[in-house]
């Protein structure tokens, strides 16, 4: 078997095993690790398909950001993150089971159709030089894909703001006591008790009231 075939086979196995671990693991950390494995496998396949830039992006963004986010949230949630095992509090779930079986079956059927029909497979023609390189990619991205690129920027900004907005507690619920900044404490208003001890001021000049700015 050639090196390419071996590489492809290894990466495929890694992907599939990772996927299985993701969907079957009880512990979500294990699931996240499975996802990471799949992503890594995919990145390898990208390399096999001569999409080097994309492979790098995949690793940076997916493995380096998305999976990390997942892990953060799992650790934040603590033990409760392990909820929802298969079979826990069995309720009527006919539709999901049926459709997942259908899913797998349809996929199998499609595979059979594809596999059975063609007697010859579509081989990859040799690609030109610089295919999948960052320069070629950049050229395309900043010419034809400029608008989507900018929009993606906006999208990411919105996503960040949105995430913060969603997670923030409802405004006004708890009055947040904001402390005065150091600059303000130095140049504006009377001396607060906590600074008085530090700076050795006369007691009379101390302002007892806490600032509630």
Partner 1 sequence: MDTLWQLFPQTDFILLAFILGLPLLGAFTNGVFGKRLGKQAVSVAGLAAVGIPFLMSVVAFVMLHAKQEGEEPARFIWTAWRWLTLSKLSVINGVPGEVPVALDVAFSIDALSGTMALIVTGVGFLIHLYSTKYMEEDPGFYRFFAYLNLFIFSMLVLILGNSLPVMFVGWEGVGLCSYLLIGFWFSEEKNAAAGKKAFIANRIGDFGLLVAMGLLLYYTGALDWAGMDANRASLLGEQKIWPLVGDKIWFSPYLPDGIATWLNRERSVSPATLVGLSLFLGCAGKSAQLPLYVWLPDAMAGPTPVSALIHAATMVTAGVYLVCRMAGIFVLSPTAMMVVAVVGALTAFFAATIAFAQNDIKKVLAYSTVSQLGYMFMAVGVGAFSAGFFHVMTHAFFKACLFLGSGSVIYAMHSRIHDSEASQDMRNMGGLRRFMPITFATFAVSWAAIVGFPFTSGFFSKDEILFKTFTSYIALPGAAEGAPYWPREVSLFVFCIAVLTAAMTAFYMTRLVVGTFLGEFRGWTIVKNFQAADGHHNHGDHSAHDHGDAGHAAHATHSAHEHAHANEPLEGPEPHESPWQMTLPLVVLAALALVSGAFNAHVLHSHLLDTWLDPVFASTKGYVQSIEGAEELQLPLLAPGLLAFTFGVGIAYWVYVMQKGAPAARFVAQFPRLHQWAVEKWRVDELYEETVLGAVDTLAEIAVWVDKYVVDGIVARLTAGAVAFSGYVLRQFQTGRVQTYSAVMVIGLGAVGWHFVVPHTEVLTKVDASGGRELQAPSGFGYSYQWDKDGDGKWDSVERTVKVEASAASAIVRLQVTNVFGWARLRKVRPEPTKSDSPTLTLRATPSAMGAKPGISLDGGAR
Partner 2 sequence: MTPVMTPLGSALEHYVLLATVLFALGGAGFLLRRNILVQLMSIELMLNATNLLLVAYNRSHSSSLHGQMFAFFIIAVAAAEVAVGLAIVLSFYRLKSTISSDAADSLRH
Site for partner 2 in 64-93 (CB under 8 A): 65-66, 69-70, 72-74, 76-77, 80-86, 88-89, 91
- Assess 102 for contact with partner 1 (CB under 8 A): yes
Whole-angstrom distance, CA of residue 140 vs CA of residue 148: 12
Among the listed ranges 23-31, 173-181, 191-199, 200-208, the one in contact with partner 2 (CB under 8 A) is 23-31
- Assess 152 for contact with partner 2 (CB under 8 A): yes
- Assess 159 for contact with partner 2 (CB under 8 A): yes
- CB neighbour class for 119 (10 Å; exposed up to 12, middle 13-18, buried from 19): exposed
Q: Which of 9, 64, 96, 108 binds partner 1 (CB under 8 A)?
A: 96
CB atoms within 10 A of CB 22: 18
Residue 160 interaction partner, one of partner 2, partner 1, none, beta carbon < 5-8 Å per kind = partner 2
- Assess 99 for contact with partner 1 (CB under 8 A): yes
State both tokens at 49: 């398909």
Whole-angstrom distance, CA of residue 42 vs CA of residue 55: 8
- Cα→Cα distances 54→44, 51, 57, 60, 144, Å: 10, 5, 5, 10, 17
Residue ranges that bind partner 1, judged by CB under 8 A: 92-96, 98-100, 102-103, 106, 109-110, 112-114, 116-117
């Amino acid at each position: 078997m050639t090196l390419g075939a071996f590489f492809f086979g290894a990466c495929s196995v890694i992907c599939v095993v990772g996927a299985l671990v993701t969907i079957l693991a009880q512990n979500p950390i294990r699931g996240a690790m499975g996802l990471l494995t799949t992503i890594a496998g995919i990145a390898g396949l990208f390399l096999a398909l001569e999409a080097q830039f994309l492979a790098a992006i995949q690793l940076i963004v997916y493995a380096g950001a998305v999976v990390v986010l997942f892990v953060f949230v799992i650790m934040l949630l603590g033990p409760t993150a392990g909820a929802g095992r298969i079979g826990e509090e069995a309720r009527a779930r006919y539709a999901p089971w049926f459709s997942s079986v259908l899913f797998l079956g349809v996929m199998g059927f499609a595979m059979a159709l594809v596999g059975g029909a063609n007697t010859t497979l579509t081989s990859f023609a040799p690609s030109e030089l610089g295919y999948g390189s960052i320069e070629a990619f950049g050229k395309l991205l900043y010419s034809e894909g400029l608008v989507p690129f900018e929009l993606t920027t906006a999208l990411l900004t919105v996503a960040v703001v949105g995430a913060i907005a969603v997670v923030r507690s409802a405004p006004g619920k708890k009055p947040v006591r904001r402390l005065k900044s150091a600059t303000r404490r130095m140049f504006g208003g009377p001396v607060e008790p906590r600074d008085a001890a530090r700076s050795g001021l006369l007691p009379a000049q101390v302002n007892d009231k806490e600032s509630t700015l």
